[in-house]
Structure 1
Amino acid sequence: MEGLELTTIEVNCDGLNTSYQVGVKLVNELREPGRQISNTGYPQASVYEFLFDELDACGGTVLIVLDEVDHIDDDSLLYKLSRARSNGDIRDAKLGVIGISNDLDFRNQLSSKVRSSLCEKEVSFSAYDADELRLVLEQRERVAFHDGVLEDGVVAMCAAYGAKDSGDARKALDLLLEAGDVARESGSAVVTEAHVQKARERVQTNQVVEGIQNYSQHGKLVLYALTVLHERGETPVRTREVVDMYREVAHSEGISPVSERSVRDYLEELAQLGIASSVEYNQGKSGGKYKEHRLEQSVSAVRTGLSTLLESA
């Protein structure tokens, strides 16, 4: 808009777990390198005072964009920002805040006083389709790759996989960049669809490993039990055999096992994550109902994810 004096400050809150840390980051975004403050050593009130002074010095309209805002464990900063002008903390600047989050429940987790003072408006964005992702990737292609490096069809394939998997532009872009890495590692001067296929396998493996590493202790033990049975060639296997192996593993680790019901719940979760699969059978009066389970990811990926557990075993 003509005549609008606008300052935009963007901060990704991934890795910044507290309002204090985000406040320090905002202050340093607004200050010259020689005037920046350290991440520790200041009272939180002082950090806010520094921030309001810098915001007022900007004047005009200041828009603060907090990406991954749900990573902040407390809502002190959001409350202070939303009340800054009414409390007299800033006088010259007009302040706006945009919070970006993939957590649809984030707003409900805020305290009532923050929701009241924010006067927020929620804008939801649907997942990208393949054509939209292709346009996004074509824009990034010109920045990340030299002309002629990408074989025809590479961008379209990355967009198609991105739309199929999640509709997340970031994941589609990660796949394209990973394909570039695969091509470079193989000594190829051109990125091909085969490189995209290999990159997708690598990305999926990394996601599996990360998911396992972040899984609960008993969930890992259940997965390890299923993995052992798989390596013995005994899968698909009934729930009872998984429970028995889990208990054996838990006792060997000096850990009190959870109930059979809990093991069943963990097996369901592993199936939902795509790490394992479960099939229910009904043999009627003669055999009753039962489930059989099998591993759906490579043993190498699973063992990498379980590396911490296996090192202590």
Structure 2
Amino acid sequence: MPLFDRDTSIFSDEDVLREDYQPESIQERDEEIDTYMASLQPVINGAQPRNLFLYGKAGVGKTAVTRYLLSHLERDVDAYDDVALTVVWLNCNNLSSSYQVAANLVNELRPPSQQISTTGYPRQTVFDMLYTELESIGGTVLIVLDEIDHIGDDDGILYELPRARANGYLSSVKPGIIGISNDLSFHDSLSPKVKDTLCEEEVHFPPYTAGELRSILEQRAENALYETAYETNVLSLCAALAAQDTGSARQALDLLYKAGDITRAADETTIRESHVRDAQQALERGQIRQGMMELTRHGHLALAAVLSIAISDETPARVREIYPEYSAIAERFGTKPLVRRRMHDHLSDLAMQGILKRYARNHGRSGGQYYEYDLDVTLELALDVVDELEDVDISLEAVRGAKLRGLR
């Protein structure tokens, strides 16, 4: 018998449930698509493209709709001899400045043998390189900046590119910017000169409702799962859980995919509601783990301090009890401790992310008001994450020392 066999009971095409799958049609975004298409109309007319910004939480269709419409736009402009369209995509995750965005755009436009370093050049030199590459393309160029909010306050590229033609840097090319942001307040944080220069159109993508998510899941399940692979209520449950949490189609699809995985691993042939509940727990654990891994250095140190105290079974603990442990761990690993108030801010952030529990205590006039903190994740998960940290050599030494102290 072969060690591996094709799946013949759950997934007919599981790639349909993956994040990078592009559906042939977009469900439940008709109004947003209509607004988006109106903003893209100048391109097909051969006119200067409008700058367009899309706002909405992760998983609500911003990138999927953009890929869908731009793929159709690229195909449709072929019918017109006086329009030449190029689309350039750049994900700005991990890019924190306009300089980095410009340098990475240069590399997107250049062949692998002519890539530049993303550091070390004068700012204007990098922009000049970008203008040269754009001029060599000519025609209309739509620059899609996904997760543009990662550049923070350094928004100069959103000022420079729209003004490049007026300033004489570009002549044969008509650039347009499509910015995609998960931060609903990103527009408010832009500098006044950028707002004036962009003159952008905005499309807001609200969270999906449970009914809309159910419709999306039905479309995907029809192509991803065998007809008898899931009970009737499974799609409704996935939709309801995602709608109650984030309103994200990605979350709903992940729930269905994980539930199918759990069903397959159990050597069962039908996805049931219990599998969805198990999938929800597994995904939440994974999200919390990822959130813990992505903490700042001092966030990791604050977590290690609470973990050390928790191992000694001395939690919930007050800030005045956590701070000495945090300071000792930080100093042991060559990091200057923050003042107590700033360390408390990190504890509050950990509580907001569901990593710590925070208890408000009120002992009246004699004891006053204060907070206590405890782990809101299992001790095993916290230890696993601390053990994997790369940016901080967090004191598994200190944590293990605390554990030994707790065992005495």
**Could you say whether these structures have the same fold, taking a TM-score greater than 0.5 normalized by the shorter chain as the test?**
yes
Q: Which residue identity lines up with residue 139 of structure 1 in the other structure?
A: Q
Q: Is the 8 A contact 2:135 2:171 kept in 1?
A: no
* Worse overlay, 110-119 or 271-280: 110-119
C-alpha spacing 1:147/1:49, structure 2 compared with 1 (3 Å)? farther
Shift of 1:276: 1.3
Alignment pair present for 1:128 and 2:208: yes
Q: Which residue of 1 aligns with 2:12?
A: none
Aligned residues: 302
Name the CA distance, whole Å, in 1 between partners of 2:297 and 2:161: 39
Alignment pair present for 1:49 and 2:132: yes
Q: Which residue of 1 aligns with 2:116?
A: 40
Q: Map residues 262-273 of structure 1 onto 2, 5 A cutoff.
A: 262-273=342-353
Name the CA distance, whole Å, in 1 between partners of 2:337 and 2:155: 38
C-alpha spacing 1:254/1:175, structure 2 compared with 1 (3 Å)? same
Q: Which residue of 2 aligns with 1:71?
A: 150
Alignment pair present for 1:13 and 2:91: yes
Shift of 1:206: 2.0
3-state SS in 2 of match to 1:306: helix
3-state SS in 2 of match to 1:229: helix
Q: CA RMSD in A?
A: 3.3
Q: Is the 8 A contact 2:135 2:173 kept in 1?
A: no
Shift of 1:255: 4.2
Q: Which residue of 2 aligns with 1:302?
A: 382
Q: Deviations over 1:190-233 (max 9, x none)?
A: 33322322222222222222222222333322222222332333
* Worse overlay, 267-276 or 17-26: 17-26
Shift of 1:292: 2.6
Q: Which residue identity lines up with residue 13 of structure 1 in the other structure?
A: N
Q: Deviations over 1:125-151 (max 9, x none)?
A: 222121122222223333433433333
Name the CA distance, whole Å, in 2 between partners of 1:72 and 1:263: 26
Name the CA distance, whole Å, in 2 between partners of 1:159 and 1:50: 45
C-alpha spacing 1:301/1:66, structure 2 compared with 1 (3 Å)? same
Q: Which residue of 1 aligns with 2:326?
A: 246
Q: Which residue of 2 aligns with 1:212?
A: 292
Name the CA distance, whole Å, in 2 between partners of 1:118 and 1:298: 48
Name the CA distance, whole Å, in 2 between partners of 1:139 and 1:310: 49
C-alpha spacing 1:96/1:277, structure 2 compared with 1 (3 Å)? same
- Structure 1 length-normalised TM: 0.79
Name the CA distance, whole Å, in 2 between partners of 1:147 and 1:10: 39
Alignment pair present for 1:155 and 2:235: yes
Name the CA distance, whole Å, in 1 between partners of 2:257 and 2:92: 21
Name the CA distance, whole Å, in 1 between partners of 2:364 and 2:143: 62
Shift of 1:274: 1.5
- For 1:227, which of 293, 304, 307 is the aligned residue? 307
Name the CA distance, whole Å, in 1 between partners of 2:162 and 2:87: 16
Shift of 1:90: 6.1
3-state SS in 2 of match to 1:218: helix
3-state SS in 1 of match to 2:309: helix
Name the CA distance, whole Å, in 2 between partners of 1:260 and 1:27: 48
Shift of 1:89: 6.2
Q: Is the 8 A contact 1:11 1:25 kept in 2?
A: no
Name the CA distance, whole Å, in 2 between partners of 1:106 and 1:10: 22
- For 2:105, which of 23, 43, 56 is the aligned residue? 23
3-state SS in 2 of match to 1:167: coil
Name the CA distance, whole Å, in 1 between partners of 2:107 and 2:171: 22
- Structure 2 length-normalised TM: 0.62
Q: Deviations over 1:151-205 (max 9, x none)?
A: 3222222221211221122233233333333333333333332232222222222
Name the CA distance, whole Å, in 1 between partners of 2:266 and 2:195: 53
- For 2:254, which of 151, 174, 183 is the aligned residue? 174
Shift of 1:13: 0.9
Name the CA distance, whole Å, in 1 between partners of 2:133 and 2:334: 52
Q: Which residue of 1 aligns with 2:266?
A: 186
3-state SS in 2 of match to 1:103: coil
Q: Map residues 58-137 of structure 1 onto 2, 5 A cutoff.
A: 59=139, 63-72=142-151, 75=155, 77-86=157-166, 95-137=175-217
C-alpha spacing 1:256/1:113, structure 2 compared with 1 (3 Å)? closer
Gaps of 5+ in 1: 29-34
Q: Which residue identity lines up with residue 264 of structure 2 in the other structure?
A: R
Q: Is the 8 A contact 1:183 1:191 kept in 2?
A: yes
3-state SS in 2 of match to 1:190: coil
